[in-house]
């Protein structure tokens, strides 16, 4: 979502810090007029604390994009990507940690073209425990747009899907649990599918697993295990 080591069958787990290029090991699969945008919520200027998360007590390095998840390049054009993702509530750094009050952590599935154009859907939590379901897409001018819907209960698991159906007027379809949230016009052809957790400072907590490569930002587990369907 833009800010305004396991391998199997061509599906690569990645964990790293870096710039905007978007790189949860979960199930990923290739499957055979944009909806109205809701009002973006006001974000409280506090770190999250009402969910599962706990403060990892790492220094703030905002704005550093940090991702952990799975990437599946597919030159044959993927037909879709889906994952059943737990709505874990991580610690999200805010002004008390030196991050902005509108920073967020998210977890999502995405179809993209070389990580420069994409359609994605997932959950997002802002500093202050403000949570939403979100979807984001590239527009014809290369800019991006976001839409928001009500969040699902914390720790409930839901299947997030992006479909690509060429030949349709709006070939991208974003869904949760089989229900369509939006259909989106085609401004690019996908050649990659991704499932990732994302944060923008190591002062926030990475959702989605129990271990991580020690050369990268470690995951912090607080109390219950924030597992989805597989370790990362």
Which pLDDT score is estimated for 173?
A: 97
User: How many independent structural domains does the chain possess?
Assistant: 1
pLDDT tens by residue, 141-198: 889 999 999 999 998 999 999 999 999 999 999 999 999 999 999 999 999 999 999 9
Domain containing 81 equals 19-199
**Residue, of 231 and 68, whose pLDDT is higher:** 68
Residue 183 belongs to some domain of the structure:
yes
Determine the length of the chain: 232
CB 165 within 8 A of CB 155: no
Which pLDDT score is estimated for 55?
A: 86
Residue 90 belongs to some domain of the structure:
yes
Which pLDDT score is estimated for 51?
A: 63
CATH number at residue 25: 2.60.120
pLDDT tens by residue, 21-46: 333 333 333 333 222 222 333 333 33
Q: How far apart are CA 223 and CA 18, in angstroms?
A: 29
The tokens for 159 are 């299947």
Alpha carbon distances (Å) from 26 to 71, 84, 228: 11, 7, 7
The whole-model pTM stands at: 0.76
Mean pLDDT of the chain: 75
Which pLDDT score is estimated for 128?
A: 87
Which pLDDT score is estimated for 41?
A: 36
Residue 207 belongs to some domain of the structure:
no
Which pLDDT score is estimated for 76?
A: 87
pLDDT tens by residue, 84-131: 998 989 999 999 999 999 999 999 999 999 999 999 999 999 998 899
Residue 193 belongs to some domain of the structure:
yes
Residue 219 belongs to some domain of the structure:
no
Residue 225 belongs to some domain of the structure:
no
Residue 217 belongs to some domain of the structure:
no
**Complete DSSP assignment for the chain:** ------EETTEEEEEEEESS--------------PPPPPPPP--SS---SSS----------S-EEEEEEEEE-TT---EEEEEEE--------GGGTS-TT-EEEEEEEEEETTTEEEEEEEEEETTTEEEEEEEEE-TTS-EEEEEEPPPPTT-EEEEEEEE-TTSSS-EEEEETTEEEEEE--SS---EEEEEEEES-TTSPPPS-S---TTSPPP---SS----SS--
Residue 172 belongs to some domain of the structure:
yes
């Amino acid at each position: 979502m833009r800010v305004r080591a396991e391998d199997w069958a061509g599906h690569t787990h990645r964990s790293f810090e870096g710039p905007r290029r978007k790189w949860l090991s979960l199930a990923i699969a290739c499957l055979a007029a944009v909806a109205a945008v809701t009002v973006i919520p006001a974000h409280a200027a506090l770190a999250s604390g009402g969910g599962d998360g706990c403060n990892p007590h790492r220094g703030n390095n905002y704005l550093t994009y940090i991702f952990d998840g799975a990437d599946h390049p597919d030159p044959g054009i993927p037909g879709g990507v889906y994952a059943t993702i737990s709505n874990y509530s991580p610690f999200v750094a805010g002004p008390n940690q030196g991050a902005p009050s509108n920073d967020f952590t998210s977890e999502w599935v995405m179809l993209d073209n070389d990580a420069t154009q994409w359609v994605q859907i997932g959950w997002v939590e802002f500093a202050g425990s403000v949570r939403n379901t979100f979807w984001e897409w590239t527009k014809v001018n290369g800019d991006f747009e976001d839409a928001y819907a009500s969040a699902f209960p914390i720790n409930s698991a839901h299947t997030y899907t992006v479909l690509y159906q060429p030949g349709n007027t709006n070939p991208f379809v974003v869904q949760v649990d089989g229900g369509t949230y939006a259909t989106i016009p085609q401004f690019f052809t996908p050649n990659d599918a991704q499932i990732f957790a994302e944060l923008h400072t190591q002062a926030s907590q990475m959702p989605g697993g129990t271990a991580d490569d020690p050369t990268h930002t470690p995951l912090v587990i607080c109390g219950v295990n924030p597992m989805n369907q597989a370790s990362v």
